[in-house]
Homo-oligomer: A and B are copies of this chain.
Amino acid sequence: MPTYVFDENSFLDFIKKNVKGNIAVVSSDVLDVNVEEIETHLGVKKHFVVKFAISADVFKDVDLDSFDELLNYAVVFVERDKLSEERKKAIR
Contact = CB atoms under 8 A, between A and B. Distances in A.
Contacts of A1: 27-29
Contact of A71 (B2, B77, B82, B86): B77
- Among A4, A23, A53, A84, residue most surrounded by chain B Cβ atoms (within 10 Å): A23
Interface residues of A, number: 74
A33 B55 CA distance: 13
A22 B79 contact: yes
A47 B56 contact: yes
A53 B48 contact: yes
12 contacts: A6-B26, A12-B12, A19-B77, A33-B68, A45-B55, A46-B56, A46-B62, A52-B52, A54-B76, A70-B78, A71-B76, A73-B74
